[in-house]
Structure 1
């Protein structure tokens, strides 16, 4: 039995803590530049390694899953359940966010002087986001479905933001393989099965670097936030403390209420056991702020620890990493109302219902857009006629909150995979590590 400090989740936690301490010391001692130049790059390398194997893993595992399924009716039923549950949990997240922000009223705690300082400091960061949001709004209503079908497999496979296109190609290849005679399709099935096993072994090797990568990522986050002036960063966190508290409270409520309810309806799994099984994936999601980068680890944990069958995990999780944004959608709701409160604007019930609809649609429509969180927020603010410039009020703490909402997004992906697997009778036994 492994000693507790040799377990992966504890090593990642140690990396997070040490990275936090390093970042704080670097800001106080004035060697932030050293951290950016010689520490942060190791975190970037770690993320790149995870992204490198995400597409091959999805392609191989999904082809193997489809060919083993050999049932088109079951495949379409699984797809309907997946998208349906994702949309329901997203709507629940937005409603929880609106409830929390209306109860706490964080905008009332932001002094006018601080508001002006934040607006002037971060105004320049909005130009590209507004333009991209406008392009998203001008797209055809069916653009989302058009974007699923790639015109070039290699172009889709070279961009992790186009994961749905890779899923589409993998399903198409899997269907094609099962349509040909068994003696012709078997070599391809054996190839992708072996290729999938190789990718899983590579995931295990990359995870040996996880504690060091997490350390470098966390140190980089703190330095980027504070620079060489830790006091300024602390003042910023203090000024936006109530807003940050509202977002975090909403995220916690969503996890405890929605996901625990999901387990009660679709399985007998305990929420605590669920978290024990996928801790490394959640911690990596928190560190990297990227569902796509964490996808290989999420798939490995969901299959090996939660007992979700490979054909479910390889189908549900890539879709979730692209369109399921529970944490991000909740943040949109809190941020939109907070900005309106800070600017002295009262939102009507109709406007808040518009937030629910717009944030739900935006979470799908802009999923493949880099920096999707801010892009989505621009779209939401435009829909309720709140000045987009107000986003400057929250950009200072967006990176930290992005880490938290990404962890919730990944938790949601894994939770939905458990629900779908249980409904399809493809949920096996859990395998939990001792703490």
Structure 2
């Protein structure tokens, strides 16, 4: 607890010292999955726009590679890039475990042995601050043997207002048990973006309007509390339109390659049965012309230290060009085409591409008693959110993270 000392001096020269207690700050970290950097400018949602005007915004936030949901959420949570914290994609193979991690495998998602780094909620709990999570990647697993004091197993059927109502309950708990590190997750913009593509003004605008109203209830509720609450709103990645004509048949591309091929979409990981054949396989794949690249992970500028989890990334990566998509087989394309006809859509939204592509950029908005208002900052990498939150909560910043406090320190009062 922070204490402020006031000296009151009376005419008689007698002084009294009064100890006044400041309220300890709380941080609510909100993730809006798939919320592209330009949605606010395009659709002007009332409550989010007001939130931005009263706080700080970045021109955009740059995703880590690949620009997928799980690796980027966990990067925000740990301040480490995916190749260091270990969640290198939504789906990947771990040769040591001899198992494929996938976001749909609940027994693996909740297994803390897959997750490196020290997530914000773990750091908070280790330092005597209670944490709570209404969904966030990693929060369901015991990482370093620790979970948030309050958390829920992911269930996409839980509506947004239920999640917001629970946040209010947490905030109104007695000080001794009240969480001061809260994470929340909303999938609306990712769901609608995948289904119709980010260019569908009607569908994207309608879903954003609904989400904005729900977040408005959260903002107003926080205002009514006599607490020092800093709210940080982020997203994990952007979104780009992909038409049926821009699908690449992955099974045909890798036909004859002796390897385990994991994942599809913007990229696929190639785990060779004989790693000594890497250069030969790379050249073989390059003979198949198309809108994709064949890259050695060691040559990718997005990756830094590959000493920890290079085995999870694979020997080669097949990386689709922006707006193209690696489809497993023709049967998958037929299913997509049927769904598109039912929806009346001409494209689907996808992500996972080169983080430098502006369409993949995410958002960063922040507001609170410790945050400057009316400020716009340059785009920055999402690894830097972690040390900012540590600073807001008075937590020690781990020395082994990739994020740097000096990047976002200028937004603090």
Q: What range describes the TM-score normalised by the shorter chain of this pair?
A: under 0.3
Q: Which has the larger radius of gyration?
A: 2
TM-score by length of 1: 0.25
Higher relative contact order (CA 8 A, sep 6+): 1
**TM norm structure 2:** 0.26
Higher helix share: 1
